[in-house]
Chain A
Amino acid sequence: MVRSLRKLPRRKICENEGSHPMLETKGPREGQVRIPSGCAIAAIMDRTGGRHDGGDILKSIALMHDRSNGLGGGFAAYGIYPEYKELYAFHIMYESREARAETEAYLDKYFMSEKQERIPTEPVAAIKNPPDIWRYFVAPHPMRLANSGLDEAEYTMQHVFHINGKIDGAFVASSGKNMGAFKGVGYPEDIGEFYRIQDYDAWAWTAHGRFPTNTPGWWGGAHPFTLLNWSVVHNGEISSYDANRRYVEQFGYDCELQTDTEVITYLFDLLARRHGFSQETAAHIMAAPSWEDIDRMPPEEAAYQTALRTVYSSALVNGPFSIIIGSDEGLLALNDRLKLRALMAAEKGPMVYLASEQAAIEIVCPDAENVRSIEGGQPFVVQLDSVVAAKARESAENCPAREKPFRHEVEVHPRRKERAHA
């Protein structure tokens, strides 16, 4: 029987495990209720694109053990699948055989799979009842993509939403290219060991340790939260949640999990991918300058900031948060306007370190330089050198996704006439 996880109001998480009393309790799972959480976050990146294994990020997040409570941990890694870098890498968690069968049938219909395999894991004493975790390297089915009228990213996103929302017991943990999320229920160091993250080489790593106030104990609810190439780790509880949720839901994003991280990811996707803003401007919109500051600006700058705040007033994120957003461009760290959550940054040569606590940086890089606190409301952007060079050549005007020609059409078919996109 397929256990309907999202729909079941109560479910005993660990049936044969008495060692963790919190896991024993019954309660609603992520998505059924909104669960406030505290957290630890960390990230490491090499700006030159040089890859390094998961050892350092594991050490860094493990140091902040007390900031999580064993109910969620995870990692996102960029650059880990260079051999499949043109394909979407789906990491999917299954809670039943039926869920896998149903999902794979669905994937077969809408995608062309190059390779599929079980993600290698290591038995770890503290990790109980893991789901069956698979990865698929896929490309959208060309005919179906062309018929959908969507671009490749939008097409993929809609199908990820479908699997997460409609197939019971299946959850897409990540769906980007040349990247992946490794997450689950447990302390982050145990999750890292479980997934053998030391076996992967990435140019950027992000990590998350979770302290939920409730007992969701659901692998899909662990972080990083991802969508396409985005991955978000977040510490905080945003008070603007429902304003942000109801804003993005206008545009086809379905906030199934009811988490801050989810809505922040969607806001980012909307602003950066769909509306074509740079990540920095997207972050700037989400932590906009105060009116007091705007009033002190020269008139032209004030008009620009006023317009951004006015048009994107519902994208303003309020309440305490520190987030690290990973993407194919690099990392972006952002604190709320009032700086109500800790987040430190440091550098050493091409390496950039971010963490909730300074000690978590120093343990992996004792002679780190430029150690500083991220300023409230000031986006901290680290991009790959290659991305910086490419951006300098691009126009500084934002080009919304819907005004761009579809990549798959430009490259495969003759370009459609302009009106077809209107």
Chain B
Amino acid sequence: MKRIYALEEWCIDCKRCEVACKVFHSKSKDPVKAFLYEQPKPRNRVRVEGNRTLSIAINCRHCPTAKCVEGCISGAMTRNPETGVVTSNPEKCVGCRTCVSMCPFGAVTIEEGPTHPIAFKCDLCGDELGVPGSPSCVAACPNRALIYVESEGN
């Protein structure tokens, strides 16, 4: 499957990926509304760690044997067997944080949901069923520090 890889050599800590991700995952898809007006606040699923001299974007690797899916106690975290995309169903998530602690990449975060804190993670800008779209973080990166490429392991 195609996965997103982050290249620290070219990451410049601008965080345009975060902005794009948040906008894509908003209701309005409009940056001004997404950042300033929408409630609940849209959440970005990619985040840049580090500082100006060394930084990298952290996002989900959609592992073939995903620890977050293994550990999920409510059946919210699933992996689409055909596309390989791992998604979290906000309706089922109870916010137990098992996935957060099991993810080797720190790619899952728990943030405020409609009723209680729930898990947020990258869905490759696809739908809830795990069909990938074209990742908006990759498109927004000015320096090709995020690449979306075919990789081994389905």
> Does chain A touch chain B in the assembled complex, meaning CB atoms less than 8 Å apart?
no
| Interface residues in chain B, defined as those with a beta carbon under 8 Å from any beta carbon in chain A | none
